[in-house]
Structure formats: structure tokens, C-alpha cells
């Protein structure tokens, strides 16, 4: 199974659920053996960044981007290199309240904020938060691509 096929299975295996006053993304409670193998591999990366809601949302967005891009490019052969390039398509929130909520969701997110300020010299709050979340998206996105690429090599 190639990278595209794995991300297609991920897309099929995710669903939106309601918790409290909001929605979140999670794996479906019942899925195929193929989903099980992917889920087991991805579960290893969930501890990265610690914020599971962010992790699942990033996974969902990345799976959408990769499967959409595969259909645009007219084929189902998305290479590992191309999948890493597509991580750049992930976009940070544009609303300050959502960015602040993201920052508050996990203590590790402040590390991304610090990196945004120090590495990019950002001096206004909104831009710093946006860049911090973009750094987190890229970090998690690349780790997800690495995990799926590794799994694709095993199942090829």
C-alpha cells in the first residue's frame, strides 16, 4: 500500500464527534484491519506535542490535502518527498480566539511561541501566535508523514 492509499484509509477512518460545546476529530470506533495497522502506527506519534485534539485535526487536514492533491495531479503516487512538501499546505487559524485556545491547550505550545518570536523576530502577538501554530502544524505534519511513509514501506 502506498502513501496515498494510507492517507485515503485515514480519511475514511476519521469522523467528527461532539464533546461539550464543540466538535472534535477522532478515529471511528469500528474499522478494518487496514485501519487497525495504520492506527497502531499513528498512535505512536500521538504523544508528540501532547495535544490530541490538535493532533487529530492536523491528521485530518493533512489526509484531506494529500488525497485531494493526488486527484489533482492525476495519480495516486504521492512520494514521501511530495507528502512532506504538502505539509506546507497546512494553515494556522486566522482567529485570535482560536489561536489563544490552541496556546492554552498544552504547555508545550509555548515552546512554539518562543521559537516564533526568537527565530523570526516577530514583535506583535497575533503574528507570533500564528507563526507558532504554523510551526506546530509543520512539526506534527512531518512526523505524521514520516510515520505513514514508514508504514507504506512495510506494507509495499
The reported pLDDT for the residue numbered 20 is 85
Domain boundaries, the chain: 3-155
Residue 66 pLDDT greater than 80, yes or no:
yes
pTM above 0.95, yes or no: no
Q: What is the pLDDT of residues 94-141, one digit of tens each?
A: 999 999 999 998 898 999 999 999 999 999 999 999 999 999 999 999
For residue 14, name the pLDDT band (cuts at 50, 70, 90). confident
Distance, C-alpha 115 to centroid of its chain = 19
Determine what percent of the chain is predicted with pLDDT higher than 90.
Answer: 47
Q: For 6-12, what is the mean pLDDT?
A: 88
Q: Per-residue pLDDT tens for 21-64?
A: 788 888 887 766 766 777 777 776 665 556 788 888 999 999 99
Long-range contacts of 20-28 (CB under 8 A, 24+ apart): 24/53, 24/56, 24/57, 25/53, 25/56, 25/57, 25/59, 25/60, 26/56
Amino acid at each position: 500500500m502506498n502513501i496515498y492509499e494510507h492517507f485515503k484509509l485515514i480519511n475514511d477512518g476519521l469522523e467528527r464527534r461532539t464533546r461539550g460545546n464543540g466538535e472534535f476529530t477522532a478515529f471511528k470506533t469500528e474499522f478494518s484491519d487496514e485501519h487497525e495497522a495504520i492506527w497502531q502506527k499513528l498512535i505512536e506519534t500521538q504523544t508528540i506535542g501532547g495535544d490530541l485534539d490538535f493532533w487529530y485535526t492536523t491528521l485530518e487536514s493533512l489526509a484531506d490535502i494529500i488525497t485531494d492533491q493526488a486527484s489533482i495531479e492525476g495519480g495516486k503516487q504521492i512520494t514521501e518527498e511530495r507528502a512532506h512538501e504538502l505539509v506546507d499546505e497546512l494553515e494556522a487559524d486566522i482567529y485570535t480566539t482560536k489561536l489563544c485556545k490552541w496556546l492554552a491547550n498544552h504547555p508545550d505550545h509555548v515552546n512554539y511561541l518562543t521559537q516564533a518570536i526568537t527565530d523570526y523576530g516577530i514583535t506583535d502577538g497575533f503574528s507570533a501566535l500564528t507563526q507558532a501554530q504554523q510551526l506546530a502544524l509543520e512539526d506534527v505534519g512531518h512526523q505524521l508523514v514520516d510515520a505513514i511513509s514508514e508504514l507504506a514501506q512495510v506494507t509495499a
